[in-house]
Every structure is written in structure tokens, then in C-alpha cells.
Structure 1
Amino acid sequence: MSQEPQTITLGGGCFWCTEAVYERVRGVLSVESGYSNGQLANPSYEQVCSGQTGHAEVVRVRFDPAQLSLREVLEVFFAIHDPTTLNRQGADVGTQYRSGIYFHTPEQAAVAREVLAEAQTAHGGKVVTELLPEADYYRAEDYHQHYYARNPDQGYCAFVVAAKVDKFLSTFKRLVRDPA
């Protein structure tokens, strides 16, 4: 793959959790919360939460492959959410919380297939993560962007998001961004 920045779109349950982790990963240039792979144009958060739009809550992760490989991006992804629960992450239930890798290039799809197969083996064949091209992506509302960074003491952030961030920090020390 080229050394130009790449973008991959990931659905790992609530986008606040996934975004908060990737904002701490060395080599990640930007993270944006949004909605992907649904049927309604420009859906609102409320519409996505209704389960009627078909969208997943996702993050678009833009990264520098000279510092962070797609394989590493996906290894973090599988470590910070439960890829074996269909349409659910913890207490968050609905199709918008499904596990998904939404690729942007055929090369990304090939790497994702390899990592997904490894995850299947590690989880006894129970992984339900979908692997599809990104489609119908829409940026989430401004108040969702960098939500954990702006609201660390909010209840969900303090208990659910913080636990995922802590798991990343302890599991992937070599990938933790230097505090700047």
C-alpha cells in the first residue's frame, strides 16, 4: 500500500468509545464520528437511534501508514469492542451498534479479511463483524465529535468510554500517542 494517509471506517458500537480510543493512537491523523451503510440521506442521531435508517454508528479513522499499519488499526479495533455480539455492545442495543469494517480500497478489504479470519479463530468462530465497502457515510452532528474529550465526567463517558480507553492504554502501550 502507498504511504499516503489512508482512511478506514469502523463500527464498534457507540462511536464515542471508538473515537476516544483512536484519538490516542500514534499515527492516527484524525477521527470523525458518523453514520454509515444505511439507506436514509443525511440522517440525524435520533433517526439512526430509531433503528429505521440502517446506519451504523462509525468512526472514520485517517492514519499515516508510515507510523501505523492497517493491521494495527484493526488489532486495536478487535481489542476494544466485542465483535461476537450482534447489534449490541454492552447495554447499547440496536443495529446502529453493529460491528463493522467499512473499507475504502480493495487493498484494505484484503488486509481486513486476514485480520477478521484471525479474530474468528481467536473467538471460536463467533465473530459477527461485517466487512463491506463504506457506503452512504454522513458526519455526525458537531456535539458528537470529540465527545469524550469534552465530557469525561458525563456518566456514560466516566464508566463505559473510560474503560475502553484504559483497556487500549494498557494493552497497546507501543501504539499510545505521545502526549503533546
Structure 2
Amino acid sequence: MVKHSCNNVFSTWLDIYFQYKDSYDKINSFMVNNCDKVLDDINKKVELEIASGIRSDMLEMVRKTKQLTIYEYGAIAEEYIESSGLTKRQAEVVRLRKAYNFREIGKLLGISPEAVFKTYKQAIRKIENTMSAKRSDSIPGLSDQQSQIYMYYKEGLKPKEIAERLGISRDVVKIQIKRINQKRGTKQVNKK
């Protein structure tokens, strides 16, 4: 088993991954929010061109960090394993992954390496969703459309403005905001 001091290193590696991911998401959000403003403003065109280059580099760093941290190092801290709602089997596989490869884990648990990998990927997805939700105040279980609507809603946009940006009806936005608030456990719906 891995010593506690290693968990701090593992936690740091995973934190680095999430920092890269958060930075990528912020750059992406900046580009989405400003893409309609570039037509008449040369400065905005330059900013978006620079942001596009940064976004590409950041996406590559997110991919590399994830590959190293999660799949090569198995660097998942115990606190993440315990707080992400993993099944007993998922937690067991994640813990074993710190010291063994998928084939060795399969032999230890009496399952195929493919089943080990699938279980590990499911666990990683749960951990990522839990950690992302904690970092960004987002809500687990939102669809892509609901996530976009929630992002704009948090920025203070009204349903009509959100609908215009996303090319959907205001009624769809209101319904989605209601569903988002249900998932958040609140009843607040902006009706304007």
C-alpha cells in the first residue's frame, strides 16, 4: 500500500490536472462569450486569436496531465476516493492501481484486465465529476445544455438573453433553469 506522504504528492498531481482543466474551461468560456463581439473590433479579434492559441496549448496540457496523473501514475489521493461516492469495487481498483497494472489487478481480483480498466475509468469519471463540481460550484448530473445555461445564469444573464446566445427558445431555458434548480435543491426560478 502507498504511504500517506505519497498521497500528498498524488493529491498535488490531481490538483494540477484540475487547475489545467479549470484554466482551459475559463479560456473556452471567454472565447464563447466574446466570439460575437469580434466583427467590428480588431482588438477583440487579436484577443480571441491569442486565446485560441492558449486554449490549444492548455487542452494539450490537460490531456498529458490526465494521462500521466491518472493512467500512468494512478495518482488518486485517498480523500478523493472516499469523497466521490465510488462503489466498493471501484475504490478497491483505484487503490490497487497505485501499485499494480490492470493485468495484475485482474489476477488479484479474479476479473479480466478489461473489466478492471472499465471499472477504473468509471471511478475516474466519478472522481472528476465530484472534484469539478466542488471546484466550480457546478451541479453533478447536468446535461451539456443545462451546464451551458447554468454558466450563463450564474453570470447574471436573463432567460431571454441565454436563449438568444444558445439559439433556443426562452421557454426551454426556463424549463432547464427549473430542472437545474431542482438538482441544486432550490426553488428559485428567474421568470424574466
TM-score in same-fold range (> 0.5)? no
Greater percentage in strand = 1
Higher Cα radius of gyration:
2
Greater percentage in helix = 2
Which fold has the larger relative contact order, with Cα–Cα distance below 8 Å and residues 6 or more apart in sequence?
Answer: 1
Give the TM-score of the pair, scaled to structure 2: 0.24
